[in-house]
């Protein structure tokens, strides 16, 4: 599975691509940061992020896009910019018919480091170790994007299998109920 991880931000939007499957070694495909200037109008910044993410999607052709779920911060201005950049990433994926998964920061930290409260340095060090890199990609947005991709490789596949199993079970229950109703109707006809 190829996962494009997006650590959303207006000034620096981390992008990282990882190939992998649960129980198999991970492979770094590419990593980078989309940058926009704080002095550029918001609409132009969002457009620049959109265009760059479209280039990434076209070039790496991911199976899924994993985006950090926006959470409330004390700084409303920061969370708004993060939410706007996140929406752009989701829109780009939807336009390309690529599934999107949202992961919380603590979920990503726990998946990568085993500790949902790990700091950025711990996450970056684990990303480097898991991808067999000499050092963690910088800035932190790049490492965070790779951590999102890794989290989805490990957790997303399991979640998809669980969702599929639940869907199969629900279908089997619905089929059994339909057959029971048909049987009851047939017996009622015979009894008349």
| Among 7, 19, 50, 52, the one annotated catalytic | 7
Does 163 participate in catalysis according to the annotation?
no
Who's near 187: CB < 8 A, 6+ residues apart? none
Does 68 participate in catalysis according to the annotation?
yes
Residues paired with residue 35 on neighbouring β-strands, in sequence order: 12
Q: Is residue 84 classed exposed, middle or buried when 0-12, 13-18 and 19+ CB atoms within 10 A define those classes? A: middle
Q: How far is CA 56 from CA 12, 81, 128, 159, in A?
A: 15, 21, 21, 25
| Among 19, 50, 52, 68, the one annotated catalytic | 68
| Among 30, 141, 163, 164, the one annotated catalytic | 141
Does 50 participate in catalysis according to the annotation?
no
Geometric angle at alpha carbon 163, from 160 and 166, rounded to 5°: 150
Catalytic residues: 7, 68, 141
């Amino acid at each position: 599975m190829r996962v494009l991880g997006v650590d959303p931000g207006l000034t620096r939007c981390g992008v990282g691509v990882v190939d992998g499957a649960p129980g198999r070694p991970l492979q770094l495909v590419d990593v980078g940061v989309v940058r926009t200037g704080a002095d550029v109008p918001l609409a132009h910044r969002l457009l620049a992020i959109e265009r760059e993410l479209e280039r990434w999607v076209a070039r790496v052709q991911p199976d899924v896009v994993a985006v950090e779920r926006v959470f409330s911060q004390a700084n409303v201005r920061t969370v708004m910019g993060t939410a706007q950049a996140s929406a752009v990433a989701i829109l780009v994926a939807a336009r390309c018919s690529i599934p999107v998964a949202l992961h919380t920061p603590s979920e990503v930290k726990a998946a990568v480091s085993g500790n949902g409260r790990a700091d950025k340095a711990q996450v970056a060090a684990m990303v480097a170790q898991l991808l067999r890199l000499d050092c963690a990609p910088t800035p932190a947005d790049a490492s965070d994007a790779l951590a999102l991709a890794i989290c989805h490789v490990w957790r997303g596949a399991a979640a998809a299998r669980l969702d599929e199993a639940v869907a199969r079970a629900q279908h089997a229950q619905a089929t059994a109920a339909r057959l029971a109703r048909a049987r009851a109707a047939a017996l009622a006809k015979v009894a008349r």
